[in-house]
Amino acid sequence: MTSNDRIRVLIVDEHDMVRRGLAAFLHVKPDLELAGEARDGAEAVVQSELLHPDVILMDLVMPRMSGAEATRIIRQRQPSVQVVALTSFEDPDLVWEALQAGAISYLLKNVSVDDLAAAIRAAHAGQATLAPEALRVLVQAQVTEPALGSDLTPREREVLALMVEGLSNPQIADRLVITRATVKAHVSHVLSKLGAANRAEAISIALRHKLVPVT
């Protein structure tokens, strides 16, 4: 196997012993290669741009700049670089922050050598590897996060449907036999709950997410 075939890995961790251990692990895997090391997130950003690694093993809790923030910057600047979050912490907030920042995988440092090697190879191929803790956070988020528009009242849904039909506030007031001030309040609530900046965006969201029946 030539050096061009190896997966180049940047190790980011504030602890010297951890970096040495991970570097030693890479040396015994013929398809993996140590691209370099960094002691914190800020250094990781610089080293990533200098060394162009394929995969980064990123600790999350570090001085100067967190691993999540470094991941966000690196992924914005170098979308081809994959980040594997490798941490000692099982904090759900850390899991969510790392994945939101663009990490493809989330593993705990007690992962086996073979599993870590497999995760690096998978990341390089664009495939995620998640520790059970990370999976629980994602499942919980899916279970607890309300669907867009689920908090709209029946009246607000009526107003939204008429907005989609193209009716103005005065026309909606006439149709529903309510005051224009009431319509204006309903429209404001609809925009707020849908996270829409204006009427047109609210209509677009309603159609895209099928929040109202379309005739």
pTM: 0.64
Q: Does the pLDDT of residue 35 top 60, yes or no? A: yes
Q: Do domains 3-144 and 154-208 have the same CATH topology?
A: no
Question: Tokens in use for 69?
Answer: 């923030």
Give residue limits of the domains in the chain: 3-144, 154-208
pLDDT tens digits along 156-182: 999 999 999 999 999 999 999 999 999
Q: What are the C-alpha distances in Å from 180 to residues 158, 170, 199, 211?
A: 15, 6, 16, 23
Nearest partner of 133 among 99, 166, 158, 177, judged by Cα: 99
Q: What is the pLDDT of residue 137?
A: 67
Specify the CATH number of the domain 154-208: 1.10.10.10
Indicate the average pLDDT of the chain: 90
The values of phi and psi at residue 35, to 5°, are: -85, -35
Q: Does the pLDDT of residue 109 top 60, yes or no? A: yes
Q: Confidence band (pLDDT; 50, 70, 90) for 140?
A: low
Question: Tokens in use for 150?
Answer: 């689920």
Strand, helix or coil for residue 64: coil
pLDDT, average across residues 73-102: 89
Q: What is the pLDDT of residue 147?
A: 74
pLDDT, average across residues 21-40: 95
Question: Tokens in use for 209?
Answer: 């997410």
pLDDT, average across residues 77-97: 88
Q: Does the pLDDT of residue 126 top 90, yes or no? A: yes
pLDDT, average across residues 74-100: 88
Q: Does the pLDDT of residue 184 top 60, yes or no? A: yes
Question: Tokens in use for 131?
Answer: 């520790």
> Helices 132-144 and 92-101, interaxial angle, to 10°?
90
Rounded to the nearest 5 degrees, what angle is found at the Cα of 81, between the Cα atoms of 2 and 88?
Answer: 100
Q: Does the pLDDT of residue 59 top 90, yes or no? A: yes
Helical H segments across the chain, by residue range: 16-27, 41-51, 67-77, 92-101, 113-124, 132-144, 154-165, 169-176, 180-194, 199-208
Q: What is the pLDDT of residue 214?
A: 67
Domain made up of 3-144: CATH architecture: 3-Layer(aba) Sandwich (3.40)
Contacts of 114 (CB under 8 A, 6+ apart): none
Q: What is the pLDDT of residue 130?
A: 87
